[in-house]
């Protein structure tokens, strides 16, 4: 390629002794032309972020480039000395990161941090720098640039912080922008805006963009060309159209097949009998204030009413802060709701005393989001699963024996019961969490973002298991998620939450196909790679 801005040639990056594999990157070759967006896709541990750090020569101390060349503007970055690299960083190649909150210095203003780009690489006066900073902030469409320049990072929203990061990265019109999962930490509507912004600015400034992501939706939305990585190697590359529609490598095929489509499966017949009825549940939090003065009242859940038919799956979707997790915790009484009733099997859960909740808790169980934080690291897997029955009076030996049977049910090797949680992968841990919840033979399962922390291929497996168990055990499930694609796949009914209130609910196909509340289509349109998400074929569940 003649107009390549950056080309990597047979790049190999060596990991220190004792790492899970000898090379973070092995024999990676790729090139990026000006005015193109190259997406590097892969699951966690594929080495995609390591590549970004290698290009910037910002690898951790023990990790080093062993072999290969990185040609940028006729210069091999692998051979560049420290001073040369400093000139390239920021001015030639700029970078934006996943978590804009931690990527900005909390103690300095936004304007100050953007201005630093100019003070490092140019001789501009302070007044000129200030003017440039304001222009940049206006460029990334931050409302009121003057105010934003004076603000500290914590005073901006996540989306605005990422805009500020982008303004900073583009300050010196770099030839190449490396974006390392820049929208992963953001809500879906914010993500859509940021993707659009990157695309717009890239086209206007003709910047080359190396965009790292794990999400094929984002790839479909933004990529010109795609590189797929697995275990530090490139397994496939080509134009976005080719890779997405005619993948050749089995791993790519598998990844794309695992992406949940935004298409509800044909509706299943639902029972007319409700197992759980939630009526007018509210929960407010008071923070700060002294003797009631100046207190801030946040309505986490506002007057939520929902029904869960026996054997059905009700999805509660919404962005962060919509109150969906608080509602889930109210249902299992981890949080006590202020008002409203939660009727399970004819008994109002919201009115039970703590002691009664403790006794009745086997009817309703919860699966948590974080597969690492949800298991006590000091207990063996079998013990974790047996804990519930033991608490409720089952003799220890019986409980452990039953736990091993449950292992089989959730697709784990029963002999794995003697291992500690850290010896399992994320997907396996989530299966243990599921087994723990099922050990009490609940009628209702509340799953709070059970697959959000998992890689897409693992995600598909866990969803499949959940659907399978629902059928076999006759479970009724409340499924909390921020990902509409996941909800579309597994849920019979969907409720959309915004600012603590349920704005719309109904049969999944109805909500997705014919949304009634204006927020729902906005949410649907924000899903990256719209066409791709709706159309592509997938493994059936």
Partner 1 sequence: MDALKRYFRSPAAVIGLILLLIVIAMAISAGWLYPRDPLSLAGRPLIWPFASPRFLLGTDNSGRDIAAQIFYGARISLLIGGVATAIAILIGILVGAFAGYYGGWVDNILMRITDAFQTLPNFVLLLVLVAVFGSTLTTVTIAVGIVSWPAPARLTRAEFLSLRNREFVQAGRTLGMRDVKIILGEILPNALPPVIVYASVVMAVAILLESALAFLRLSDPNVASWGNLIGLGRDVLRVQWYVSAIPGIAILATVLAVSLVGQGLNDALNPRLKSR
Partner 2 sequence: MRILSLAGRRLAASIPTLFLILIGVFLLLQMAPGDTVDALMAQMGGGDAATARELRKFYGLDLSIPAQLANYLWHLVRLDLGFSSIYGKPVASVILERLPPTILLMTASLSFAFFFGLVFGVIAARGVNRWPDTLISTLGLIFYATPSFWFGLMAIVVFSVYLQWLPPGGFEDIGTVQTGIWRVLDIASHLVLPTLTLGLIFLAIYLRIMRASMLEVLNLDFVRTARAKGLDETHVVTRHVLRNALLPMVTLIGLQAGTMLGGSVVVESVFSLPGLGRLAYESVVQRDLNTLLGIVFVSALLVIVVNFVTDLLYARLDPRISADS
| Residue selected from 241, 267, 289, 395 as contacting partner 2 according to rule CB under 8 A | 289
What is the smallest separation between the CB atom of 339 and partner 2, expressed in angstroms? 26
Closest distance between partner 1 and the C-beta of residue 418, in Å? Answer: 16
- The correct pick among 19, 58, 131, 391 for binding partner 1 (CB under 8 A) is 391
The answer to whether 90 contacts partner 2 (rule: CB under 8 A) is yes
Q: What is the DSSP string of 113-135?
A: HHHHHHHHH----HHHHHHHHHH
User: How far apart are the C-alpha atoms of 489 and 531, rounded to whole Å?
Assistant: 17
Give the residue carrying structure tokens 């795609």: 226
Choosing among partner 1, partner 2, none, which partner's interface includes residue 168 (Cβ < 5 to 8 Å by kind)? partner 2
535-540: list long-range contacts, CB under 8 Å, 24+ apart: 535/261, 536/244, 536/256, 536/259, 536/261, 537/257, 537/261, 538/257, 538/258, 538/259, 538/260, 538/261, 539/257, 539/258, 539/460, 540/265
Count residues binding partner 2 (CB under 8 A): 33
Which residues, numbered 52-71, are part of the site for partner 2 (CB under 8 A)?
A: 56, 58
The mark string for 429-468 relative to partner 1 (x by CB under 8 A, - otherwise) is ----x--xx--x----------------------------
To partner 1, the closest distance from the beta carbon of 374 in angstroms equals 4
Residues 325-344 that bind partner 1 (CB under 8 A): 329, 332, 334
User: What, of partner 2, partner 1, none, does residue 103 touch, CB below 5 to 8 Å by kind?
Assistant: partner 2
Token pair for 473: 């055990």
Strand intervals (E) in 57-184: 64-72, 75-76, 93-96, 176-180
**What single string gives the DSSP state of each residue in 396-426?**
HHHHHHHHHHHHHHTT--GGGGGS-GGGS-H
Which of 18, 106, 292, 377 binds partner 2 (CB under 8 A)? It is: 106
How many binding residues for partner 1 (CB under 8 A)? 27
Single out the residue of 229, 301, 375, 488 in contact with partner 1 (rule: CB under 8 A): 375
- Under rule CB under 8 A, residue 126 binds partner 2: no
- Residue 487: phi and psi, rounded to 5, are -60, -45
Pattern 208-227, binding to partner 1, x per CB under 8 A?
--------------------
Identify which of residues 284 and 305 has a Cβ nearer to partner 2 in the complex: 284
Which range binds partner 2 by CB under 8 A, 112-120, 204-212, 364-372, 446-454? 112-120
Between CA 40 and CA 61 the distance in angstroms is 24
Residue 317 interacts with partner 2 (CB under 8 A)? no
Which of 64, 141, 362, 517 touches partner 1 by CB under 8 A? 362
Between CA 279 and CA 306 the distance in angstroms is 6
Query: Measured in whole angstroms, how far is the alpha carbon of residue 347 from the centre of its chain?
Result: 36
Q: CA Rg, the chain, in Å?
A: 25
89 binds partner 2 (CB under 8 A): yes
Distance of alpha carbon 365 from the chain centroid: 24
| Whole-number Å distance between alpha carbons of 519 and 406 | 41
DSSP conformational letter for 536? -
Applying CB under 8 A, does 378 fall inside the site for partner 1? Answer: yes
Q: Let me know: does 179 contact 96? Beta carbons within 8 Å.
A: yes
Establish if 470 lies at the interface with partner 1 (CB under 8 A). no
Residue ranges in contact with partner 2 by CB under 8 A = 56, 58, 85-91, 94-95, 97, 99, 102-108, 116-117, 120-121, 152, 154, 165, 168, 287-289, 294, 296
């Amino acid at each position: 390629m003649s107009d390549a801005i950056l080309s990597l040639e047979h790049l190999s990056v060596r990991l220190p002794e004792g790492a899970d594999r000898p090379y973070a990157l092995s024999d990676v070759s790729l090139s990026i032309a000006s005015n193109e967006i190259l997406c590097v896709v892969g699951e966690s541990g594929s080495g995609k972020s390591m590549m970004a750090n290698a290009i910037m020569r910002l690898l951790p101390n023990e990790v080093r480039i062993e072999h290969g060349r990185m040609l940028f503007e006729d210069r091999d970055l692998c051979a560049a000395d420290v001073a040369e690299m400093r000139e390239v960083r920021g001015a030639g190649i700029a970078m934006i990161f996943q978590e804009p909150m931690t990527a900005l210095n909390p103690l300095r203003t936004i304007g100050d941090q953007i201005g630093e780009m100019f003070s490092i690489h140019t001789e501009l006066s302070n007044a000129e720098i200030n003017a440039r900073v304001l222009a940049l902030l206006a460029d990334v469409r931050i409302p009121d640039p003057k105010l934003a320049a004076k603000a500290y990072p914590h005073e901006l929203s996540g989306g605005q912080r990422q805009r500020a990061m982008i303004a900073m990265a583009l300050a010196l019109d770099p030839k190449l922008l490396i974006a390392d999962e820049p929208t992963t930490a953001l809500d879906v509507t914010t993500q859509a805006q940021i993707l659009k912004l990157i695309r717009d600015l890239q086209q206007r400034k003709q910047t080359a963009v190396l965009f790292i992501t794990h999400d094929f939706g984002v790839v479909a939305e933004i990529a010109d060309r795609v590189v797929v990585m697995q275990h530090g190697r490139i397994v496939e590359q080509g134009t976005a159209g080719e890779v997405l529609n005619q993948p050749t490598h089995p791993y790519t095929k598998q990844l794309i097949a695992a992406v949940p489509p935004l298409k509800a499966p044909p509706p299943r017949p639902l029972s007319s009998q409700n197992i759980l009825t939630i009526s007018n549940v509210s929960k407010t939090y008071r923070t700060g204030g002294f003797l009631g003065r100046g207190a801030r009242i946040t309505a986490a859940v506002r007057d939520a009413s929902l029904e869960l038919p026996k054997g059905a799956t009700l999805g509660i979707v919404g962005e962060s802060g919509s109150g969906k997790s608080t509602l889930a915790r109210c249902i299992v009484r981890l949080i006590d709701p202020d008002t409203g009733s939660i009727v399970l099997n004819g008994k109002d859960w919201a009115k039970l005393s703590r002691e009664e909740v403790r006794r009745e808790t086997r009817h309703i169980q919860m699966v948590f989001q974080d597969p690492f934080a949800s298991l006590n690291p000091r207990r063996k897997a079998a013990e974790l699963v047996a804990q519930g029955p033991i608490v409720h009076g089952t003799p220890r030996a019986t409980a452990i024996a039953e736990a091993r049977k449950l292992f089989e049910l959730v697709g784990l090797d029963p002999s794995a019961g003697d291992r500690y949680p850290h010896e399992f992968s994320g997907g396996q841990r989530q299966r243990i969490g599921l087994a723990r919840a099922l050990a009490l033979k609940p009628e209702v399962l509340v799953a709070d973002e059970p697959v959000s922390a998992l890689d897409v291929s693992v995600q598909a497996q866990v969803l499949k298991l959940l659907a399978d168990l629902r059928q076999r055990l006759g479970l009724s499930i409340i499924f909390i998620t921020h990902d509409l694609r996941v909800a579309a796949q597994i849920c019979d009914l969907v409720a959309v939450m915004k600012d603590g209130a349920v704005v719309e609910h109904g049969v999944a196909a109805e909500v997705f196909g014919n949304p009634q509340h204006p927020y729902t289509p906005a949410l649907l349109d924000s899903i990256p790679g719209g066409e791709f998400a709706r159309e592509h074929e997938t493994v059936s569940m």
